[in-house]
Amino acid sequence: MNAIAQIDELLDPRLFKAFLAAAETENFTLAASVANMTQSGVSQHVAKLEEQIRAPLFKRLGKTVKLTSTGQRLKEYIERCAHSEEDFLESVRDEQTRLKGLVSYAMPPSCLLSPHFPMLLEKRSDHPDVELRVYLQPSPRVMEMVASGEVDFGFVTQKTRHPMLTQKPFCREEYILVGSDKAALKAVRADNILDHRFIHYPGSDVYYDFWLRHHFGNKKGLDSFCLPCAGWIDNIDGAIKMVEGGLGYGIFPRHCVAASLSAGKVFAFKSKKKPLLNDIYITQLRGHKYPRRVEQVIDWFMEMAH
């Protein structure tokens, strides 16, 4: 059996402090200051470890010391033990500490119609002391709310370079053009798009602009503000009802109109292009330390995405 294989039976953890200080500073005098010990105390503790392991831990090069291969393995062993202890204590604390308090976040209204929201409510049912406060806002406003601290985090449909924010991919959603007249929908082209009328709602400009660039990107100056308006309403559910009623066309995330498509109330525009998929991001304040309840809710969402 080699020396390191006997560590669990032989080593005195009280000697680790001096060893790690010497490994960090590569100097016993500096190590004494770091470990709040005398230099002779550091030397004695290292010597006892070398005696227990029966192998040198440092190469002495004048006033400098360098870890031997055995010393490096011992350092890695101590770090693994420390991490295991931290993980164990954290898991015990997690079991004993109930999630409690307010978690606030903002998201585009279309996210309310995704399967993730009811999944969140199901997970939250096991933690009755967590209060959810959800704001339905277009992506630019969501980023403003996160940056100002009005909410803990948010979902956005656009990537940002805001210096105060970080973003991590959450999921992807498909944007489609739908209408109640299947035959008329087939006639939509880049050269006649402005002859058709559309339903607008909060945040719809993002979907329209994505869709127009994807399908008719070669037509300059074409954006959501150019599209003739057949109606405006302040929520996405109402916009879908307007499209079902034949008032105009609309562009929505596919998951929002899935039921309407299945029921034959609306039809999707057919294109030879690949489906228009867009990344959804969770955005947070950069470098901010969030309460455990907030991190847990974000973790729940990330679990749903896989």
Mean pLDDT of 92-102: 72
Q: Which domain holds residue 46?
A: 4-95
Distance between CA atoms of residues 278 and 253, nearest Å: 10
Q: Are residues 212 and 287 in the same domain?
A: no
Q: Are residues 183 and 272 in the same domain?
A: yes
- Residue 188 Cα distances to 69, 217, 245, angstroms: 71, 15, 19
Question: What burial letters (b/e) apply to 246-262, b meaning 16+ CB within 10 Å?
Answer: ebbbbbbbbebbeebee
Token pair belonging to 188: 């939509």
Q: Are residues 265 and 188 in the same domain?
A: yes
Q: Are residues 180 and 270 in the same domain?
A: yes
Number of C-beta neighbours around residue 2 at 10 A: 10
Q: Which of 95, 124, 152 is the last residue of a domain?
A: 95
Distance between CA atoms of residues 55 and 74, nearest Å: 11
Residue 11's pLDDT band (boundaries 50, 70, 90)?
A: confident
- The label of the residue with tokens 């831990």 reads 57
Distance between CA atoms of residues 226 and 298, nearest Å: 38
Residue 1's pLDDT band (boundaries 50, 70, 90)?
A: very low
Q: Which of 68, 95, 122 is the last residue of a domain?
A: 95
CA 78 to chain centre: 32
Q: Treating both helix axes as pointing N-terminal to C-terminal, what angle do 236-244 and 254-262 enclose, rounded to 10 degrees?
A: 40
- Using DSSP's 3-state secondary structure scheme, residue 70 falls into helix
Summary mean pLDDT of the chain: 90
pLDDT for the residue 228: 94
Q: For strand 198-200 and strand 229-232, is the pairing parallel, antiparallel, or unpaired?
A: parallel
Q: Does the structure show a pLDDT above 90 at 58?
A: yes
Residue 272's pLDDT band (boundaries 50, 70, 90)?
A: confident
Q: Are residues 187 and 253 in the same domain?
A: yes
Q: Are residues 90 and 125 in the same domain?
A: no
User: What digits encode the pLDDT tens for the residues 59-83?
Assistant: 999 889 999 999 999 999 998 888 8
Mean pLDDT of 224-249: 95
CATH of residue 51: 1.10.10.10
pLDDT for the residue 290: 93
Q: Does the structure show a pLDDT above 90 at 210?
A: yes
Q: Are residues 89 and 177 in the same domain?
A: no
Mean pLDDT of 207-211: 94
Would you say the C-alpha torsion 229, 235, 238, 240 has a positive or negative sign?
A: positive
Q: Does the structure show a pLDDT above 80 at 147?
A: yes
- Residue 155 Cα distances to 127, 138, 288, angstroms: 22, 9, 17
Q: Does the structure show a pLDDT above 80 at 20?
A: yes
Q: Does the structure show a pLDDT above 60 at 87?
A: yes
Q: Are residues 246 and 214 in the same domain?
A: yes
CATH of residue 135: 3.40.190.10
Distance between CA atoms of residues 207 and 167, nearest Å: 20
Q: Does the structure show a pLDDT above 80 at 40?
A: yes
Q: Are residues 137 and 284 in the same domain?
A: yes
Q: Treating both helix axes as pointing N-terminal to C-terminal, what angle do 28-35 and 39-53 enclose, rounded to 10 degrees?
A: 100
